[in-house]
Chains A and B, each alone.
Chain A
Amino acid sequence: MNGPIVRVFAVTLVLFALLIGFTSRWAVFERDTLQDNPQNKRALIEQQRIDRGRILAADEQTLARSVRRADGAYTRRYPLRGLFAHPVGYSYLNPGNAGLERFYNGVLTGRFDGLQDALRRLQGKRKQGDDLRTALDPVAQQVALDQLAGRPGAVVALDPRTGRIKVMASVPGYDPNVLRSAQATTRLNTAPGSPLFNRVTQFGYPPGSTFKVVTAIAAIDSGKYTPDSTVDGSNGVKISGVPLNNDGGADYGKVDLTTALTNSINTVWAQVGEDVGGRTMQRYMDRLGFEKQVAVDLPSSERRPSGEFCKGRFVRATNPCVDVGRMAIGQDKLQVTPLQMAMVASSVANDGVLMHPFLATRAVDPEGRTTLQNDPKEISRVMSTETAGKVTEMMTRVVNEGTGTAAALSGIDVAGKTGTAERDVARNITQPWFIAFAPAAAPRIAIAVTIERTVGGFGGTDAAPIAKAVMESILKR
């Protein structure tokens, strides 16, 4: 009988091996999947027991901090209320985490490795997260919000040399402090105008004539055109077989590209776009980051790509569905985020090199050590330094004598481009745009502004003054 007994023991060993196998599966191999499961609230609950690090503005103002409740758990406070609601986000048990709070959850909660954690606990230290420092500028942000004055829209401004974002304003906004209550969360989720959405990175809009800057970059950098090349700017030139009108039906005759950008002549840029072609246009759009989730340190669910949107998806400029001529002037099926347009301006401003936009600069642990550093990072060289210089000159003309004069700053040269996307021709609803950078000779700020809908407003009249005020607040302080 002993033989079978040994074999029964062998079978039980197999069963125990199975148990160890499955325990390893959950505790080690599929650990991340389980921890990322949306039904898994453990991490969120766990976090309420951690003294989460602060989030700080460039001027050391506290944007988010944790306070200890009577029961020992921590809860989040946002002292500046709605000022930076969209970039900073929130961290509460019920709605969860969003914005920087989510993207940098690891450093904010001080996720240590096991040994380090054990040592800290032996020292009797409570779990404390790292502080997150940002480049956000509360004064300029306030100016942006004041200027938008409650009109749905977005302003984003960054330093073209480093990619550091100073202003990220989205209207309508919300006060993240109210998200502590579940009812407020539900209300905000269904509120008109989607206040929880970050229009800078999550909304795609028709960019209007601001997109002509992309066309100008492609035309000049590809060597097919110079700023002095002349093109027929008559009204009603056929683009893809359909006549295209200039703004106000103006007839310009033969004009050079600088003039065509200064006066935002549709027919010229549509022809240039057709001549340059979808393939070349796409090459420059690729370098600018189109068709990818817009690059910034926010959760991917709070970002979206920009580009030609056809039949429910983003397509290349070479797709038959794309009317390259109309795309070149920002019409057709373009959906572009305000941050993407700021990146277009930024690449011209930074001598043709596009820098990765960052909200956070670094993280600092409770002992004062830097645990994370977002050094300026190049995304791509979009165009040659010469091209950047030429496009800068053209854009400076736009502000000095063209459609963008409302953005002019005294004593500082501004380079910019207006845009006015038609949202509802019959009811004269437009979406004004303005992208710019300044000072033109040595840029320190690049900006994109848009207002979702105005009745008959123009980029030059409605968006440019906002850009001017924000740039002024940053450059003249």
Chain B
Amino acid sequence: MNSARNRELLGLIPASLLVTAGFAAVFVQERAVTSDASLTYGAVFLGLCLAAHLVLRVRLPDADPYLFPIVAVLASVGLVMIYRLDDTLAREQAQWFVVGLAFFAATLVVLRDYRVLERYRYLIAAGSLLLLLLPRIPGVGAQVNGAYLGIDIGPVEFQPAEFAKIGIIIFLASYLRDTRQLLVQRKFGPLTIPRLKHLGPLLLVWGLAMVTLVFIRDLGSSLMFFGGFLAMLYVATNRLIFPAVGLALFGAGAWFFANTVSHVQDRVEAWQHPFDPELYDRIGGSYQLAQSLFAQADGGLWGQGIGESLVKVGVPPDEAIFLPAAQTDLIYAVIVNELGLVGACALLLVYVLAVERGFRIAVLARDSFSKLLAVGLTTVLALQVFVIVGGVTKVIPLTGVTLPFVSYGGSSIVANFVIVALLLLISDRARREARTS
């Protein structure tokens, strides 16, 4: 028997119990009955995870045993919270969870050797850029809350940025693998000054981040891409000067646009003064952030309990949404409200565990491409959590990205499962090489 996979199997049990307990809590709260349906949901969830686990057992016997159960815990929290908000959405989310697992399995099966990705890096880069800009193309794109994030394909709204981020990370990992030696070649005293032609890509990615910021109107994605890039650049070169210059550039650009471009300006103002009556009442103003903070305040240390928080007011048809985008942007605020600071910290710690596994995979990986890819993917995942939780808690301006595996959203859950699949692929190779060498 394979001990890593057995540990993974054991890890899935608490995740399934979480689903069972969570659904039971919602049932008790909403209908004052404990239904055995919660057991069914728990069993179905366990079954799905077991299927994915079997694929892992066959395809990646040596992969990290903890990452998948950690992700299952996150997904179960998401399913329960979304079910508590709206059972139709929860059914959809459950379907997306299945689709996500399918993509997860497909990635494991199709990418027998993920290093082939390097071969197609320019194709992947071009495709990602196209995906990123797609929502801005008239007729295809849809503006959501002032940001061009989604495109409509038939019945499905699809957020291409979620997939673009994977492509861009793959490209950068491959590119930096090639140029990392060149970037650190020239030295003047203690300073490392790369040649301008090697600096080009850095400036290009910076430009891309700025374009994302201004044209896609998506500070969140911009921050994620650029942050991920800087982390990879730093790991590739081991020179602090690169991320330092990068951060300075990003800061300067963000500051410039915050003072010149009106919609960025509005976001920053709403962020700084969420209770200003004028901003509060303005459409797309600070109402959402203010409500998010109010919801968190009601949570306190222990929270009000699942199903207790105030999201909608009144009964249909006179129903009014009180907490806008509770199932996506503000799901963290709902979690703080219902599970309290303690529950929210627990959730953040689960993310920390996931991120820790990601970086451990990067450390264990043998070749630079694998290391850089793992660092990039993990950093993007961590930054996505930071961007949305930071937005909801007023650390940074609020932008609409999803809380990975927890928020409602098909593109997000599918894309994040692909990221996890890639990390597991890297892990399997690294650990197998370590075992056999």
Contact = CB atoms under 8 A, between A and B. Distances in A.
Interface of A: 1-9, 11-13, 15-16, 18-20, 22-28, 30-31, 34-35, 37, 39-40, 42-43, 45-46, 71, 114, 118, 121, 124
Interface string B365-404: 0001001000100010011011001100111000000000
A22 B395 contact: yes
A16 B352 contact: yes
Contact of A12 (B296, B340, B379): B379
A9 B310 CA distance: 36
Nearest to B294: A40
A365 to B, nearest CB: 21
Contact of B296 (A6, A27, A43, A114): A27
A124 B234 CA distance: 57
- Describe B's contact surface by its main secondary structure: helix
A12 B382 contact: yes
B290 A39 contact: yes
Interface string B342-368: 001100100110011001001100001
Given A12-B379, A27-B297, 13 more contacts: A4-B235, A5-B362, A5-B371, A12-B355, A12-B382, A20-B344, A20-B348, A23-B348, A26-B393, A27-B301, A27-B341, A37-B275, A114-B302
A358 B359 CA distance: 65
A39 B295 CA distance: 12
B348 A31 contact: no
A4 B234 contact: yes
Given A27-B301, A27-B336, A27-B340, A5 B359 contact: yes
Contacts of B313: 45
Contacts of A16: 348, 351-352, 355, 382, 385-386
B297 A26 contact: yes
A181 to B, nearest CB: 15
- Describe A's contact surface by its main secondary structure: helix
A179 B295 CA distance: 27
Contacts of B1: none
A1 B233 CA distance: 11
Contacts of A5: 235, 359, 362-363, 371, 375
A4 to B, nearest CB: 4
A2 B301 CA distance: 38
B359 A19 contact: no
B269 interface: no
3 closest pairs, A vs B, by CB?
A34-B297, A22-B393, A26-B296
A2 B364 CA distance: 9
A114 B303 CA distance: 9
B426 interface: no
Contacts of B220: none
B310 A46 contact: yes
B299 A27 contact: yes
A18 B352 CA distance: 13
A39 B293 CA distance: 11
A201 B40 CA distance: 62
A3 B238 contact: yes
Given A24-B341, A28-B300, A28-B301, A19 B395 contact: yes
B314 A37 contact: no
Contacts of B310: 42, 45-46
B99 to A, nearest CB: 28
Among B236, B341, B344, B383: residue with most chain A CB under 10 A? B341
A1 B356 contact: no
Contacts of A13: 352
A16 B353 CA distance: 11
Contacts of B395: 18-19, 22
B233 to A, nearest CB: 10
B296 A9 contact: no
A26 B386 contact: no
B18 to A, nearest CB: 20
A19 B344 CA distance: 10
Contacts of A18: 390, 395
A19 B390 contact: yes
Contacts of B390: 15, 18-19, 22
Contact of B386 (A4, A15, A25, A121): A15
B375 A39 contact: no
8 contacts: A5-B362, A9-B359, A20-B345, A27-B296, A35-B294, A39-B290, A45-B313, A71-B314
Among A16, A31, A71: residue with most chain B CB under 10 A? A16
Contacts of A35: 294, 297-298
B127 interface: no
B231 A22 contact: no
Nearest to A15: B386
A23 B341 CA distance: 7
A39 B280 contact: yes
Contacts of B301: 27-28, 114
Contacts of A15: 382-383, 386, 390
Contact of B336 (A23, A30, A118): A23
A2 B336 CA distance: 35
Contacts of A43: 298
Contact of A2 (B293, B299, B340, B363): B363
B316 to A, nearest CB: 10
B348 A30 contact: no
A7 B243 CA distance: 12
B344 A23 contact: yes
Contacts of B386: 12, 15-16, 19
A31 B395 CA distance: 17
A12 B355 CA distance: 8
B382 A1 contact: no
Interface in B78-109: none
A24 B290 CA distance: 16
A415 B402 CA distance: 75
B363 A6 contact: yes
Nearest to B333: A26
Interface in B262-298: 275, 277, 280, 290, 293-298
B341 A118 contact: no
B207 interface: no
Contacts of A3: 238
B235 A8 contact: yes
A23 B359 contact: no
Contacts of A8: 231, 234-235, 359, 375, 379
B294 A23 contact: no
B336 to A, nearest CB: 5
Interface in B162-217: none
Nearest to B395: A22
B305 interface: yes
B32 interface: yes
Contacts of B156: none
Nearest to B336: A27
Among B293, B351, B375: residue with most chain A CB under 10 A? B293
A5 B395 CA distance: 25
Nearest to B231: A8
B322 A45 contact: yes
B314 to A, nearest CB: 7
A321 B301 CA distance: 53
Contacts of A42: 294-295, 298, 310, 322
A295 B354 CA distance: 58
B58 interface: no
Nearest to B337: A27
Given A15-B386, A42-B295, A45-B313, A22 B344 contact: no
A121 B32 CA distance: 11
A74 B241 CA distance: 62
B228 to A, nearest CB: 10
Contacts of A45: 310, 313, 322
A19 B394 CA distance: 9
Given A1-B236, A8-B234, A37-B275, A28 B341 contact: yes
A269 B290 CA distance: 58
Given A12-B382, A23-B393, A27-B341, A118 B231 contact: no
B116 interface: no
